[in-house]
Amino acid sequence: MQVKTLNAKQLSNFKALGQDYNVHFLENILEAAEINEPFFLLGKGTNVLLVTPQHDIIVSTKLLDKITFLGGTLVQTEAGVSLPELINQAKRKNLGGLEFTFPVPASVGGAIYQNFGAYAQEIGTYVKEVTTYSQITKEIVKHKINNQQDFFSYRDSYFKQNKLVILKALFSLTEMEPENIENKLSEVSSKRLALYPMSNTLGSIFKNGETYSTGKILDELGMKGFAYKHSQVCTNHANVIIATKQSRCLELLELITILKKTAKTKKNIELYEEIFIY
Ligand SMILES: Cc1cc2nc3c(=O)[nH]c(=O)nc-3n(C[C@H](O)[C@H](O)[C@H](O)COP(=O)(O)OP(=O)(O)OC[C@H]3O[C@@H](n4cnc5c(N)ncnc54)[C@H](O)[C@@H]3O)c2cc1C
């Protein structure tokens, strides 16, 4: 088993300096069965702020990178494949559907775990089968997804609820002309990039409420562009924080706390993180 030592900065899309701590990092998840203690699993780090080490080892899905087209609309994808890579390869086979995620560099496993959603669509809609590994029982299980609602809800999944490691998934995509896919990709990526950059952010920090958009609430509270130490709330989207090279993990956590306190004291709204603070 090959375990590397890395600074936490290298593992989160925030690229913020860790609290001067290193983590043990196992690149090959297939060696995880040899670990006899709980570990934290990392996809592409687009939704994780690493603040303090809670487990001794962080395990990556980065080597799970195979995509297999099975004919028709079916695609088998390993968990470490990035969504843009899957979208691009599927486009060459006239298969679309996942454009709403573009160009967020998340992994397939992380996206299924979180039930990635945007523009009134969710990734769970396209998932037909998921193969998981349990850290507790060390069993590998194939879950057939006949009824999507049994497995997915808003930013949540059966896999998240049961702390399962996603190893691979079977998608049923939609037959589409590459030109239509290309048009959708440009439309979605211009919308996103007009709001915030892909690097040094984690997307939305807080979940939306059932009846309100958290970005709108924070905007009404004047938080757009709010600067704190070396980090800042995005000037175009009050639910997004942008880190800089000088940002430290702890100050990002402090900024998140300030936003929560502001929403609670001024609007009596409790905000809940969508990101993982680890
Ligand atoms: C610029 C930007 C825009 C974004 N926009 C959106 C958006 O529109 N909608 C949205 O929903 N999210 C958005 N996000 C958030 C993020 O991309 C998603 O939550 C994504 O699903 C996380 O995938 P990841 O591979 O980066 O996971 P990570 O950040 O590495 O991990 C996130 C969580 O998933 C778990 N995990 C990762 N891989 C696996 C696996 N194989 N099996 C089990 N658990 C796993 C981790 O343990 C962790 O708890 C955005 C992020 C960024 C940076």
Pocket test for ligand 1, best of 28, 30, 102, 113 (most atoms within 8 A of CB): 113
CA distance 157 to 118: 16
pLDDT at 22: 77
pLDDT for position 20: 62
Q: Which of 57, 63, 114 most suits a substitution to test ligand 1, by most atoms within 8 Å of the C-beta? A: 114
CA of 48 to the centre of ligand 1 (A): 7
Ligand 1 geometric centre to CA of 111 (Å): 5
Q: 203: CA distance to ligand 1 center in Å?
A: 9
Q: Helices 178-195 and 83-92, interaxial angle, to 10°?
A: 160
Query: Model confidence at 19, in pLDDT bands (50, 70, 90)?
Result: low
Say yes or no: CB of residue 205 within 6 Å of ligand 1: no
From 134-138, 163-167, 254-258, the region with the lowest mean pLDDT? 134-138
Which tens digits make up the pLDDT trace of 68-104?
A: 999 999 999 999 999 999 999 999 999 999 999 999 9
Task: Please name the CATH architecture into which domain 3-60 falls.
Answer: 2-Layer Sandwich (3.30)
- Does 270 participate in catalysis according to the annotation? no
51, pLDDT greater than 90: no
Measured in Å, residue 146 CA sits from the centre of ligand 1 at 24
- pLDDT for 180-204, tens place per residue? 999 999 999 999 999 999 999 999 9
- Domain extents in the chain: 3-60, 67-194, 197-277
Answer whether 157 contacts ligand 1 (Cβ < 6 A): no
Nearest ligand 1 atom to the CA of 167 is: 41
Q: 197-277: which CATH topology?
A: 3.90.78
Residue ranges in 10-65 assigned as alpha helix (H): none
Amino acid identity of 186? S
Residue 276 CA: which ligand 1 atom is closest?
49
Return the ligand 1 atom nearest residue 278 CA: 49
How close is the Cα of 46 to the center of ligand 1, in Å?
5
Distance CA 263, CA 216 (A): 11
Is domain 67-194 classified as CATH 3.40.50.1820?
Answer: no
Instruction: Tell me whether residue 60 is one of the annotated catalytic residues.
Output: no
The catalytic residue among 82, 107, 204, 247 is 204
Q: What is the pTM of this model?
A: 0.96
Tell me which residue has its CA closest to atom 13 in ligand 1: 203
**SS3 of 165-220:** EEEEEEEECEECCHHHHHHHHHHHHHHHHHHCCCCCCCCECECCCCCCCHHHHHHH
Q: Is 248 one of the catalytic residues?
A: no
Residue 51 CA to residue 249 CA, distance in Å, equals: 6
The yes-or-no answer to whether 3-60 and 197-277 have a common fold is no
Longest dimension (CA), the chain: 55
DSSP state of 38: -
